[in-house]
A and B are shown apart, each in its own frame.
Chain A
């Protein structure tokens, strides 16, 4: 019984953490580009990133299956190169969580970066700093409030991810059965005791995560 709760928790934390790390790195890069660069087709890029926010997760999941399946553009390429079929693995769950939480990160971070006074970046350039150094030491520190908010939202979204994960990663015990999926399974099969334990665990973990974030915010003076 305990293992039935423990394994999904570990899978959930693993998937959500990895997805949030990906979201942090790529999300900041995409946000900076969207906030600070002008290029042709910018609105298309903006829509593509935001789309998973408005699409039902099952639709996002279905599109991901088309992309990542052995006959999909990405899936086929990956399979030909490495022999790795990504669908129905925990890695696919990470990708699903990443795609659905990215817009939350990009929306908050891009807004925060846009809010940083450009004159400060210009000042850094005239003081001999490159664009990358300026991003790291001026722009991002000043946008940290939005970045942190984006990360918290993304992590929460990844923990709660259900539809897209079910489509691309299945619900394989010990592999891809995250908390959300396990709660549904337990409830469906009438295992109320397990469902209760899973729900209690998830609530507890969420409370802990929120407390930790509040502490961090306090420490960083965000």
Chain B
């Protein structure tokens, strides 16, 4: 059935003088199915507030929230279901396990009105599902981060919620545990067939988990689509930055079109993009992994468009790849260029050339 959210909420942060300093408007609108949804954005973009509004822990100023056909919130009719009647499965960023209860008591805390035998059955089902058998009589203070996270998930899932909401659940875990838990959540979502909303600010996490990504920026939804859509065709400049398009250049003039596509000019650099545009001035960008590094000789007689010669001014080793900063001769442009480590050892000197395919150039109209 899915979730439909259309809410707005205004925040004021007051200065000491009592004057309004910052006005932050949250205006969120998205609709998702019974799928794995990732709310993706920087911290402060409104992800957590949105999740809290869905759970009923915060109240929007206006709008509506509909989960699986049930109205959770509707400002027109004055409906605002209390969280204890919404009963979402909610996993908090800091786990929020009850420190005075052991694992067993934590997990069955949401099973109100279940008879004793069923409670016990459900408990063991959850312990098995999350591979935490044998921990049932431990207290939260005796658990590792990964174990706490599993218990928090078990507690959220035990009452068979209609929706599962996860607020950056893995941010405090190491990479191996994080990857395992990601896979587990994916499997659980497929098994239960309920909508799962997962908050993260990590692009890796967003793309490895999501069926659908909802990109939030400064309180607004900028794009909603499959990871592929968001990754390869970011809707605007803000989304592009979020998904790792680290080469972005503003105020390029659209100076005409060639057989290859649109010609963009700015700051002494001319590039050709495959995309067709209407505007006069645009921003354009390219992912660092799409800026291909070549040796100077290779490009000497190249007829390919978007080939530029320059100097490598900085190299950052990222383990499996290297990030190079290349300053072009023809202008003050600096391109970030990501190449697999095994190739970059061959780069002879600081002189090099970069090449960008016209179809890899992303154009953002205002």
Q: Do A and B bind each other?
A: yes
Interface residues of A (CB under 8 A from B): 117, 119-120, 122-130, 138, 141-142
Which of the 9-residue segments B34-42, B88-96, B180-188 touches chain A? Answer: B88-96
Interface size on B, residues (CB 8 A): 25
Contacts of B155 in A (CB 8 A): 123, 127
Q: Are B87 and A124 in contact (CB under 8 A)?
A: no
Q: Considering only CB atoms, which chain B residue lies closest to A134 in the complex?
A: B84
- Using known A-B contacts A125-B57, A129-B112, determine if residue A120 contacts B96 with beta carbons closer than 8 Å: yes
Question: B99's contact among A122, A124, A130, A142, by CB below 8 Å, is which?
Answer: A142
Query: For chain A, what secondary structure do more than half of its interface residues adopt (helix, strand, loop), or is it mixed?
Result: helix
Q: Given that A117-B96, A128-B84, A138-B98 are contacting pairs, would A123 and B90 also be in contact in the complex, using a CB cutoff of 8 Å?
A: yes
Which partner residue on chain A sits nearest B83 by CB separation? A125
| 4 extra interface residue pairs, beta carbon distance < 8 Å, beyond A122-B96, A125-B82, A125-B83 | A117-B94, A125-B84, A129-B112, A142-B98
CB of B347, distance to nearest CB on chain A (Å): 50
CB distance from A175 to the nearest CB of B (A): 44
A127 and B96: CB pair below 8 A?
no
A123-B84 in contact given A128-B112, A128-B159, A129-B112 (Cβ < 8 Å): no
Residues in B with CB closer than 8 Å to A125 are 56-57, 82-84
Chain A residues within an 8 Å CB radius of B159: 127-128
Chain A: minimal CB distance from B32 (Å): 20
Q: Shortest distance in angstroms between B338's beta carbon and chain A's nearest beta carbon?
A: 39
**Minimum CB–CB distance for B23 against chain A, Å:** 21
Whether B87 lies near A123 (C-beta < 8 A) is no
Question: Chain B residues with Cβ under 8 A from A119's Cβ?
Answer: 92, 94, 96
Contact check, A126 vs B100: say whether CB atoms are below 8 A apart. no
Closest residue of chain A to B161 (Cβ to Cβ) is: A126
Complex CA–CA separation, A137 to B142 (angstroms): 21
Q: Which of B122-161 contact A (CB under 8 A)?
A: 155-156, 159
Residues of chain B lying within 8 A (CB to CB) of residue A127:
87, 109-110, 155, 159
Closest B-chain residue to A119, C-beta based? B96
B55 within 8 A of A: yes
What would 12 A/B residue contacts be, using CB atoms closer than 8 Å?
A120-B96, A120-B99, A122-B57, A122-B90, A124-B98, A125-B82, A125-B83, A125-B84, A126-B57, A126-B84, A126-B89, A141-B100
Q: Which of B88, B94, B97, B99 contacts A126 (CB 8 A)?
A: B88
How far is B156's CA from A43's CA once the two chains are assembled, in angstroms? 38
CB-defined contacts of B97 to chain A, threshold 8 Å: 123
- Cα distance, A128 to B85, chains bound together (Å): 6
In the complex, which of the residues B56, B88, B109, B156 contacts A124, with contact meaning CB atoms closer than 8 Å?
B109
CB distance from A25 to the nearest CB of B (A): 22
